[in-house]
Amino acid sequence: MVSTLALVANNAFVYIGALFIIATLFTEGDYLLNLIAIMRGDKEWFGLQKFKLRVDSIDAPWHFIDVPQSGGKESMEYKILNTLWTKQVNYGSDFSKLWGFTVGTVAPEYRDFVDAANHLKEQRLIFENEQGMRFLTAQGIVFCAENYKTFPKQEDQYWPDEKIEEGKLQVAIQKAKELRGAKEIA
């Protein structure tokens, strides 16, 4: 009925609208929102979608987190968390934008990186986007805010010359408190 009305109306906008209505029956809402953004030429939409903070993991029970142990394979997990936390604090302490990275497939430690990143994903501390970049989840942000001082070898991270800026650290800790709803984060 909608497509017949669109063809009879002989109007491009009505036709496109009808296709959109029909498409909603067969596709996901996110796809349609992306389609609207493309039609409107809204480039900011994709930036928001790509880096939106995944707060859904915050309500998860915290007792299941398997805290990495120092040394061995787990040290790569700390290296990833330490890198993500340092860069996130310095470049987006209010978490309006997330900072992420990946290691190239030709890097000697690539396999260890992927294994450790997968374990952190299972713990819901990080997530991976379509390009293979790793980012902290909301739960990962809170975990790092509460535990970054206890990470073994804090200098063991990618780009070790960069240190956390103290002023931005306080903003990040305050925002992590808001995410967690915690009264106290050390």
Residues 31-45 have pLDDT tens digits of 666 767 777 776 665
What string of DSSP letters covers 143-177? HHHHHGGG-SSTT-SSSTT----HHHHHHHHHHHH
What local confidence, expressed as pLDDT, does residue 1 receive?
64
Q: List for the chain the helix, strand, coil content (%; round to 5).
A: 55, 5, 40
Q: Which residues of the chain have pLDDT under 50?
A: 49-65, 68-73, 182-186
Residue with tokens 């496109």: 16
Residues 150-167 have pLDDT tens digits of 877 667 788 877 888 888
Q: What is the pTM of this model?
A: 0.61
What local confidence, expressed as pLDDT, does residue 116 receive?
92
What local confidence, expressed as pLDDT, does residue 4 receive?
67
What local confidence, expressed as pLDDT, does residue 131 receive?
85
